[in-house]
Amino acid sequence: MPATAVRLLALLALLPAFAGAESGWFPWRPPAETAQESAINLRYLNEKFAGENGWIQAKGEQFVHSRTGAPVRFWAVNGPPGSSNNAADWKEDARVLSRHGVNLVRLHYAPFDNKTGQLRPDAGAKKAGIVAAMKDEGIYSLFSIYFPLWLKPEAGPGWREGYDGVKHPFALLYFEPEFQNLYREWWKTLLTTKDGSGRALLEDPAVMGIELVNEDSFFFWTFNYRNVPDPQMRKLEKRFGDWAAKKHGSLRSALAAWKNQRHERDDEKDGRLGFRTLHDLVNVRSPRDQDTAAFLFETQRDFYADTVKFIRGLGYKGLITASNWITADADILGPLEKLSYMPGDFIDHHGYLSTNHKGENASWSIRPGHTYSDVSALRFDAQTPGQPKKFSNPAMDPMYNRRPSMISEIAWNRPNRHRGEAPLFLAAYGALQDTDSIVHFAFDGRRWQVKPRFHMQPWTLMAPTQMGQFPAAALIYRQGLVKTGDLVADLRVKIADLLALKGAGFGQQANLDELRKADLEGSADAGEKRPGLDPLLHLVGRVNIEMTEAGGRAELKDASPFIDRRAQTVRSSTSELTLDYGRGLLAIDAPSAQGLGGHLSLAGETALKDIAISSPMELGYIVAVSLDGRPLADSGRILLQVMSEEKATGFATEPAGEGVHRITDIGRDPWLVREFAGTVRFRRADAERLKVMALDLAGRPDRPLGDAREIALLPDRAYYLITR
């Protein structure tokens, strides 16, 4: 029997099983993209080439093009995959990303050997190759080259003394001179690498920005005597001793000022002072603790300031940001962390919606036997079933000192039925808060594949509910189809009070993935104290924390017209967004973007300004966006986008307790999407004259469906084009 016939029979044998376990789902298999017109091809949103309009600069609260002064937002991804080394792959990745509305990539991977720290010989050429490929599609690049978890220094002299090939160099970069010199040589070598035209990377405006440190800080739990080897900690203790002696006149005077509060590692003869724990700094806040915080803050800030000066000295004119990390306490230490970032041009943070995911290597993989819970951000579900709502979300993005802001890693982690919430939520509230860049984690390749091995990744971005919703989401965010909100809270904090560990009265809460939760001391909620300011204000409008020498009185907008805790609703100050967190429903009702997402079956028919939505889908996301710059009320070209929930073929679980699932099969290709259902009615006088075309999964015309008075959603079509 021919091999093709054997394969066909094998596939036919699987059909009954598929029809049972996978009934009500359809495979997500977009046809190959061609030059044929696609209604979801957003390449036109990007410049002809990245840097066409000059360098990206920070002006007030926004990023702008230096040549035109026009503001720009970045709908971005972490990627392409660091394992790729092929120029043809980079070009194809860039083409796919630009078509989905992406205009920035964060190149986040190690360019050095993880034992010696020596720069890899091909690191510069790889960076230059990716920048060139992305640039041609109008996509900018952000460099992120240092993360302590990428290094496990082997034993050696100088900066490697005390390491064993297992420990990571947490906090070392902030104080060890030899390591700092090595680190700055990395930057010099990479930035002076020349591209194919003979121009150095530091001269190319397509290099939008540089990130100095990823996820490290003196103020996070990883700074302790277990993680920093004794020979290295002695260097920092000596610096602390010199600092205290300079401030107080001598070590003896410093100890006297601290009411003789001592540490077991104090050594007056050697001029060293030990470090009390971050728990002490947050909870005791003694004079010694205050001086400790001031020393750590100044040391960290000075490192960033010196490195910015070094990179500027090389001739780089793009943006620089310091870091993006959280602290052991959001209110007491969090503002000091952000204050140390001020030598940079903008403020960055990370956030993940995690899912009570547990099991071996659950921090970076999904495997049989792992357990998890489904978590909805629209309902503020706690990760642990049965716990009270947790009013925190990784997209909540306060400004600091009116600087532009970026979220350089964000994801709704798998497994989770509610992943589909992410794109529209991020687009809508990113636009409301005027977040300047949202960087989705992580672009895992341009093919729509589950990529099963013995495990899967929890951050997969090339998935139906994620990249499949990019077209409408990117338009909403990048074109400002949802308006920027009012400044609803302007907190003015005195720097002296922050150094005295009095806190700011508001803490940006941590939203960690499983990888970094492992570094928390104590409970999983360590460092996540309830802030003094209502976190729901982020869903009303913009929040700013101003940290100055003078401080001042906080200005708060009356939020009572917008936040109704009894009804469990939050309305934006623009009246364009309403979150019903009791039922888990987000309504977008702006002139050029209207839709509904979440538990649609609970909503009944929802009438928005120009459309009405009715759907029996338990989880669904339906949105209409204008494609011609006109309001939906008179637009002649509209994209209607639909999504539900996704899973891998064969993915299976069993109960493992109240609200907890145990994975019995991680599944395989292809992705499956739960079939769509519902109707969308256009509430326009000319709805009868609007033509509706169902599109295939690549956005190309598939079949006409009549007019827009009542559009019955097809079970396997995610996109529709409505024209006059």
In a domain, 266, yes or no: yes
Domain housing 238: 226-276
Q: What is the tens place of the pLDDT at every residue in 228-275?
A: 999 999 999 999 999 999 999 999 999 999 999 999 999 999 999 999
The span from the CA of 620 to the CA of 617, in Å, is 6
- Return the amino acid letter for 440: H
Residue 217 lies in a domain: no
Point out the domain boundary residue: 276, 294, 318.
Answer: 276
For the CA atoms of the chain, what is the radius of gyration? Answer: 26
Runs of H (alpha helix) within 409-461: 422-433
Residue 107: name the closest of 129, 88, 89, 138 by CA: 129
Nearest to 619 by CA among 377, 353, 371, 356: 377
Q: Which two tokens stand for residue 417?
A: 């039925």
Is residue 626 classed as helix, strand or coil in its secondary structure? strand
Domain end among 276, 303, 337 = 276
Closest CA to 82 of 490, 405, 445: 445
pLDDT at 527 over 80: no
Contact 649, 670 (CB under 8 A): yes
- What residue type is assigned to position 391 of the chain? F
Assess whether pLDDT exceeds 70 at residue 519.
no
Flag whether pLDDT at 6 surpasses 80. Answer: no
Please report which confidence band the pLDDT of residue 510 belongs to, taking 50, 70 and 90 as the band edges.
low
Cα distance between residue 591 and residue 107, in whole Å? 36
CA distances from 327 to 10, 500, 520 (A): 54, 16, 10
> Is pLDDT above 80 for 514?
no
Q: What are 566-597's pLDDT values in tens digits?
A: 999 999 999 999 999 999 999 999 999 999 99
**Cβ atoms within 10 Å of 630's Cβ, excluding its own:** 14
pLDDT number for residue 520? 60
Predicted confidence at residue 721, as pLDDT, reads 98
The H-or-E segment that residue 235 falls in is: helix 230-248
Cα–Cα–Cα angle for 435, 591, 589, rounded to 5 degrees: 75
The CA distance from 63 to 209, in Å, is 11
Q: Hey, how many other C-beta atoms are within 10 angstroms of the C-beta on 71?
A: 16
Mean pLDDT of 59-63: 97
In a domain, 603, yes or no: yes
In a domain, 674, yes or no: yes
Look at residue 242 and tell me if it is in a domain: yes
210: exposed, middle or buried (C-beta count within 10 Å: 0-12, 13-18, 19+)?
buried
pLDDT of residue 84: 77
Kindly indicate the confidence band of residue 669, based on its pLDDT and cuts at 50, 70 and 90: very high
What is the chain's length? 724
Domain boundary among 217, 251, 276: 276
Residue 322, both tokens: 């310091």
pLDDT at 371 over 90: yes
Examine residue 235 and state whether it is found in any structural domain, yes or no.
yes
Report the domain count for the chain.
Answer: 2
Closest Cα to residue 426, out of 485, 462, 469? 469
Q: Per the structure block, which two tokens stand in for 690?
A: 């609007």
Helix axes 287-314, 230-248, angle to 10 degrees: 110
CB 677 within 8 A of CB 616: yes
Do the beta carbons of residue 359 and residue 367 sit within 8 Å? Answer: yes
61 occurs within a structural domain? no
pLDDT category, 81, cuts 50, 70, 90? confident
Longest dimension (CA), the chain: 92
Closest CA to 623 of 577, 691, 584, 556: 577
- Structure pTM? 0.94
Percent of the chain with pLDDT over 70: 93
Percent above pLDDT 90 for the chain: 89
Residue of 567, 563, 508 lying closest to 537 (CA atoms): 563
Per-residue pLDDT of 288-319, as tens digits, reads 999 999 999 999 999 999 999 999 999 999 99
| Dist CA 475 CA 590 (whole Å) | 13
User: What's the whole-number average pLDDT of the chain?
Assistant: 93
Average pLDDT over residues 76-97: 92
Is residue 437 within 8 A of residue 554, CB to CB? The reply is no
- Answer whether residue 579 is part of any domain: yes
